Amino acid sequence: MGRYVARRLLQMIPVFIGTTLLIFLMVYSLPGDPVRALWGDRPADPQAMARLRHEYWFDRPVLAQYWHYLSNVVTGDFGSSFVTGRKVIDVMAETFPVTIRLALIAFAVEIVVGLSLGLLAGLNRGKLWDKLVLVITLLLISIPIFVLGFIFQTIFADQLGWTTPTVQNSDDITQLILPGAVLGSLSFAYIARLSRTSLAENLRADYIRTAIAKGLPRRRVVGIHLMRNSLIPVVTFLGTDLGALMGGAIVTEGIFNVHGIGNTLYRSINQSDNATVVGIVTILVIVYLLSSLLVDLLYAALDPRIRYA
Amino acid sequence: MRGATSAKWVAGAAIIALAATACGGGKDSTDNSGAAADPAGVFSYQSSEPQHPIQPANVMETGGGRITDVLFSKLVDFDAKSGAIENVVADSIKQDDASHYTIKVKQGWTFHNGEKVTAKSFVDAWNWGANAKNAQQNASWFSDIKGYDEVHPEKGDPKADKMSGLSTPDDYTIKVELANPAPYWTYKLGYSAYSPLPSVFYTNPKKYGEEPIGNGPYQFVKWNHNQDFLTKAYDKYAGADKPKNGGVDFKFYTTSEAAYKDTVSNNLDVLDQVAPSGMATYHQDLGKRAVDAPQNSIQTIAVATYADAIKGVKDRGKFMQGISMAIDRDTITKTVLQGSRTPATGFVPPAVKGYLADACGEYCKYDPAKAKQLVTEAGGANASISILYNADGGHKEWVSAVCSNITQATGVKCESDSKADFKTVLDVRTNKKVQSFYRSGWVQDYPLNANFLKDLYGTTAAGNEGGYSNKTFDDLTAKADKAPTLDESVKLYQDAEKSLYADMPAIPLWYYKTNAGYSANVKNVTYDTFGKPVFTAVEVLKK
Q: In Å, how far is B350's CA from the nearest CA of chain A?
A: 21
Closest CA to A282 of A18, A8, A11: A18
Higher-pLDDT residue of B146 and A269 is B146
- Read off the pLDDT of residues A191-250 as tens digits, 9 standing for 90 and up: 999 999 998 888 888 888 898 898 888 888 888 888 888 888 888 888 888 878 887 788
Chain B CB contacts of A166 below 8 Å: 258, 261-262, 267
Q: In Å, how far is B454's CA from the nearest CA of chain A?
A: 13
What does R_g of chain B's alpha carbons equal in angstroms? 25
Q: What is the chain A residue with the closest CA to B23?
A: A159
What number of other Cβ atoms are within 10 A of residue B316's Cβ? 20
Cβ pairs bridging A and B (under 8 Å): 164
| A77 part of contact set with chain B, CB < 8 Å | no
Q: Given this model, what pLDDT does residue B218 score?
A: 97
**Pairwise CA distance, residues A203 & A172, whole Å:** 43
Chain B CB contacts of A55 below 8 Å: 135
B443 and A41: CB-CB below 8 Å? yes
Cβ(B416)–Cβ(B400) below 8 Å: yes
**Pairwise CA distance, residues B227 & A96, whole Å:** 14
User: What is this model's ipTM?
Assistant: 0.82
A85 and B206: CB-CB below 8 Å? yes
DSSP label of B448: B
Q: In Å, how far is B81's CA from the nearest CA of chain A?
A: 25
Preferred mutation among A84, A90, A273 to probe B, highest tally of B CBs within 10 A = A84
**Pairwise CA distance, residues B21 & B13, whole Å:** 12
What does R_g of chain A's alpha carbons equal in angstroms? 24
Q: Is the pLDDT of residue A88 over 50?
A: yes
Closest CA to A36 of A25, A24, A52, A21: A52
DSSP label of B353: B
A39 closest CB neighbour out of B14, B60, B133: B60
Preferred mutation among A154, A176, A182 to probe B, highest tally of B CBs within 10 A = A154
B6 and A47: CB-CB below 8 Å? no
Chain B CB contacts of A39 below 8 Å: 60, 137
The share of chain A scoring above pLDDT 70, in percent, equals: 99
B441 closest CB neighbour out of A41, A46, A253: A41
B226 and A168: CB-CB below 8 Å? no
Preferred mutation among A45, A83, A132, A276 to probe B, highest tally of B CBs within 10 A = A45
Preferred mutation among B55, B210, B265, B392 to probe A, highest tally of A CBs within 10 A = B265
Q: Given this model, what pLDDT does residue B22 score?
A: 43
CB-based contacts of B268, cutoff 8 Å, min separation 6: B44, B45, B46, B251, B259, B262, B519
| A59 part of contact set with chain B, CB < 8 Å | no
Task: Point out which residues pair with A217 in neighbouring strands.
Answer: none
| B277 part of contact set with chain A, CB < 8 Å | no
| A175 part of contact set with chain B, CB < 8 Å | no
B254 closest CB neighbour out of A32, A150, A263: A263
A-facing residues of B in 321-340 (CB < 8 A) are none
DSSP code per residue over A228-246: HHHHHHHHHHHHHHHHHHH
**Pairwise CA distance, residues B523 & B537, whole Å:** 9
Q: In Å, how far is A36's CA from the nearest CA of chain B?
A: 8
The runs of H, that is alpha helices, within A154-205 are: 177-203
A-facing residues of B in 389-448 (CB < 8 A) are 392, 419-427, 430, 440-443
- Read off the pLDDT of residues A114-149 as tens digits, 9 standing for 90 and up: 999 998 998 888 889 899 999 989 988 888 888 888
State the number of CA atoms in the 13 A half-sphere of A91 facing the CB: 29
Q: Given this model, what pLDDT does residue A236 score?
A: 83
Q: In Å, how far is A284's CA from the nearest CA of chain B?
A: 20
| B6 part of contact set with chain A, CB < 8 Å | yes
Q: What is the mean pLDDT of each run of 10 residues along chain B (543 residues)?
A: 47 49 48 85 94 91 92 95 92 88 95 95 95 90 93 88 94 94 90 95 94 96 92 94 95 90 93 89 92 94 92 92 95 91 94 93 94 92 92 89 94 91 87 92 92 90 88 93 90 95 94 94 94 95 87
- Read off the pLDDT of residues B447-475 as tens digits, 9 standing for 90 and up: 999 999 988 999 988 788 889 999 999 99
Cβ(B418)–Cβ(B453) below 8 Å: no
Chain B CB contacts of A153 below 8 Å: 261
| B5 part of contact set with chain A, CB < 8 Å | yes
Chain B CB contacts of A36 below 8 Å: 423, 426-427, 430
Q: In Å, how far is A80's CA from the nearest CA of chain B?
A: 12
For every residue of A66-125, which 3-state class applies, written as one string?
A: HHHHHHHHHCCCCCECCCCCCEHHHHHHHHHHHHHHHHHHHHHHHHHHHHHHHHHHHHCC
Q: Given this model, what pLDDT does residue B324 score?
A: 95
B-facing residues of A in 185-244 (CB < 8 A) are none
B-facing residues of A in 103-122 (CB < 8 A) are none
Chain A CB contacts of B139 below 8 Å: 45, 47-48
Chain A CB contacts of B393 below 8 Å: none
Chain B CB contacts of A51 below 8 Å: 132-133, 135
The count of residues in chain A is: 309
Q: In Å, how far is B461's CA from the nearest CA of chain A?
A: 9
Q: In Å, how far is B337's CA from the nearest CA of chain A?
A: 22
Exposure letters A1-14 (e unless 16+ CB within 10 A, then b)? eeeeeeebeeeeee
- Read off the pLDDT of residues A41-76 as tens digits, 9 standing for 90 and up: 788 888 888 888 888 888 888 889 889 888 888 888
Task: Point out which residues pair with B415 in neighbouring strands.
Answer: B386
Q: In Å, how far is A158's CA from the nearest CA of chain B?
A: 7
Calculate the average pLDDT of chain A.
86
B426 and A36: CB-CB below 8 Å? yes
Q: Given this model, what pLDDT does residue B1 score?
A: 38
| A266 part of contact set with chain B, CB < 8 Å | yes
A-facing residues of B in 43-62 (CB < 8 A) are 49-53, 60-61
Chain B CB contacts of A30 below 8 Å: 423
Q: Given this model, what pLDDT does residue B20 score?
A: 45
| B204 part of contact set with chain A, CB < 8 Å | no
Q: What is the chain B residue with the closest CA to A82?
A: B52
Chain B CB contacts of A31 below 8 Å: 419-420, 423-424, 427
A-facing residues of B in 77-136 (CB < 8 A) are 132-133, 135-136
CB-based contacts of A54, cutoff 8 Å, min separation 6: none
Chain A CB contacts of B422 below 8 Å: 32, 37, 40
pTM of the model as a whole = 0.85
